[in-house]
Amino acid sequence: MADTTLTPERILEAAEEVLRRFGPGKATVVDVARVLGVSHGSVYRHFASKTALREAVADRWLDRVHADLPAVTAGTAPAAERLRSWLHTLHGTKRATALDDPELFATYVALVAEASTVIAASLDGLVAQLARIIADGVESGEFAVDDVPRSARAVFYATVRFHDPTHSAQWADPDIEQQLDAVCDLLLDGLRPR
């Protein structure tokens, strides 16, 4: 491949192919350059280090797993309905990804676990979406909350069983969605005015 056609997008696709084929230990700049048939210098022109490349792959995967959430956040349904739907969407996508190909899921989870700044940014982004839904609910009178960001973070922490990959073994439970519904009921009651 001529170096001139080498884009960050093309490099990231190759890195994902390497990960899929060889597991989380791989997908270094050298591995990816080999798959692309270019020098590793060409890859370094787009990603300054192995860490930068692996973080970009982790980030891209999280973006894909979370792709359906912004539309739920920005929807026009009542806030309570949107909040429940948002949590079920996050759980559903994570569960489908984990159960569909557990080995590839574990590979990406291991990659994400290395990338603490990517994790922190992703978490902040998700909590900001929850905060937006809760703020909408406060405005419409559905919810009464003193501190919206604190409640948003509490909702995120209270649902880790349903979205944190360390719990993926439990996502095959036949009643996992009923468990999430019971937690949603309690959290939504906690947000409502009294």
Which residues contact a copy of itself by CB under 8 A? 150-151, 153-155, 157-161, 164, 166-167, 179, 182-183, 185-194
**Residue 90 in contact with residue 162, Cβ under 8 Å?**
yes
Minimum CB–partner distance for residue 186 and a copy of itself (Å):
4
163/77 Cα distance (integer angstroms): 23
Closer residue to a copy of itself (CB): 104 or 158: 158
Minimum CB–partner distance for residue 22 and a copy of itself (Å):
27
Minimum CB–partner distance for residue 151 and a copy of itself (Å):
6
**Residue 109 in contact with residue 52, Cβ under 8 Å?**
no
Minimum CB–partner distance for residue 152 and a copy of itself (Å):
10
| CB-based burial label for 45 (10 Å; 0-12, 13-18, 19+) | middle
Closer residue to a copy of itself (CB): 34 or 176: 176
Closer residue to a copy of itself (CB): 26 or 161: 161
**Residue 185 in contact with residue 159, Cβ under 8 Å?**
no
DSSP assignment letter at 65: H
